[in-house]
Each structure stands twice: as C-alpha cells, then as structure tokens.
Amino acid sequence: MTVDALFRKIALQQGDITRMAADAVVNAANSTLLGGGGVDGAIHRAAGPELLAECRTLGGCPTGEARITRGYNLPARYVIHTVGPVYRGLPADARMLSACYRNCLKLAAAYQLETIAFPAISCGVYGYPIADAAAIAIEAIRDGLSLYDSIRQITVVLFSGTDLRAYERALSALRNR
Ligand code: AR6
C-alpha cells in the first residue's frame, strides 16, 4: 500500500464517540474496567448496564493492554477497552500509550473489524499532554494500518477543537516526514 493510501484511512473529527456507528469504538478505561468518568462514563451510559455486566466477567485489564466486549445500545458493534498510562513524564508513558493503540488494532484485526473509532486516550483525567499524545497515536495508527490490511478506516474522535487541531498538526507532521 502507498503512504497516501495509508493516510487516507485515517480520519479526524470533532464530536462524541458514543455516537459513532463504527465496528468498534475504543474506550479509555481504567484497569478495573468497571467504569469511571470522561469517555468511559459516557460509553457506559450510552451502552447501558449490560456493558458493565460483561466487563465484570473480564477481571480487569493492565495498562497498555486491550479487551473487547459487545457494544449493546451503542451504534458501534463492539467496544475495545484499553487502559492508558497516567502521565508522569517518563519514557514508559509513551511506550504504554503506543501499546494501547497497537493492542486495540491487533484485537480489531483478530475480530476482522473494518472501522474503528478512537478517543484521545490518556488526554483527560490521566493528564497526557495532547500534542505528545497525538504524535504517538498517529504513528501507532499508521503502523497498525500497514500491518492489518483488513482495517479500512480509523477515525479519531476529539471532544474539543483544540484537541482536533493538535491531531491535525500531528497528522501532517508525520505525513510530511
Ligand atoms: N467522546 C469523545 N471524546 C471524549 C468524550 C466523548 N464522549 N468524553 C470525553 N472525551 P478521559 P483518560 C475526551 O478522562 O485521560 C475515566 O474515569 C476527553 O476530552 O475520558 O484516559 C476512566 O475510568 C479527553 O480528551 O480518559 C479512567 O479512570 C479524552 O476523551 C480515566 O478516566 C480522554 O479523557 C482515564 O483517563
């Protein structure tokens, strides 16, 4: 696949990820997988109590890894739950954040999912600076797309215009590198 074809599969948009009719939406969860605030709270509210019931059967998830459940009342068929790092300013943060994106895409490919929507993992409560996180996310997404041909479209859904602009900058920086 050409680099252009690869980048055409990455879309950025401002909005609410709970409204995305993708094959899977990614949840920025915590290691209990039992819900919380931010995008996690929004996904659980929109999916309904059956999501929590399925999450209870999973026994949690370590930082950097991912687990999959059904989407229940969401327009998305599946939810891929991942646990981002709490930002500390250490090299391990970047490795863990990259692992989140990579492990979500690996799971999506294993389930033969074609369309995936990501939020800005770790960029809320977990305090990851958006510009750094965006560069890591875009690179990991590009690498995932080159590994997994079955993935047709990855949309990163940003809540705020500021976050969207940070992702737009990261995307053009990587494309022009
Ligand atoms: N759609 C898209 N993005 C959203 C939405 C939404 N509906 N709601 C929030 N965001 P956060 P984290 C953005 O805090 O930093 C939870 O309590 C938000 O603006 O949701 O990974 C978990 O249980 C931010 O840019 O996740 C964990 O305990 C991004 O989503 C902890 O927070 C991520 O913010 C995880 O923290």
Q: Whose CA is nearest to atom 34 of ligand 1?
A: 124
**Contact predicate 96/64, CB 8 Å:** yes
pLDDT, tens digit (0-9, with 9 covering 90-100), for 23-77: 999 999 999 999 999 999 999 999 999 999 999 999 999 999 999 999 999 999 9
Tell whether the model's pLDDT for residue 1 goes beyond 80: no
Indicate the top mutation candidate among 16, 30, 39 to test ligand 1's pocket, ranked by most ligand atoms within 8 A of CB.
Answer: 39
Considering only CA atoms, which of 103, 62, 46 is closest in space to residue 80? 103
157-172 mean pLDDT: 97
**Contact predicate 18/11, CB 8 Å:** no
Pocket lined around ligand 1, Cβ cut-off 6 Å: 16-18, 28-30, 36-40, 42, 84, 119-126, 157, 159, 163
| 115-118, strands of its sheet edge to edge | 10-14, 153-158, 115-118, 24-29, 78-83, 66-70
**Contact predicate 145/104, CB 8 Å:** no
> What atom of ligand 1 comes closest to residue 43's alpha carbon?
7
Helix axes 130-147, 161-175, angle to 10 degrees: 50
Compute the distance between CA of residue 56 and CA of residue 4 in angstroms, rounded to an integer: 41
Contacts of residue 166, defined as CB under 8 A and 6 or more positions apart, other chains included, come to 130, 131, 134
* pLDDT tier at 79, thresholds 50, 70, 90: very high
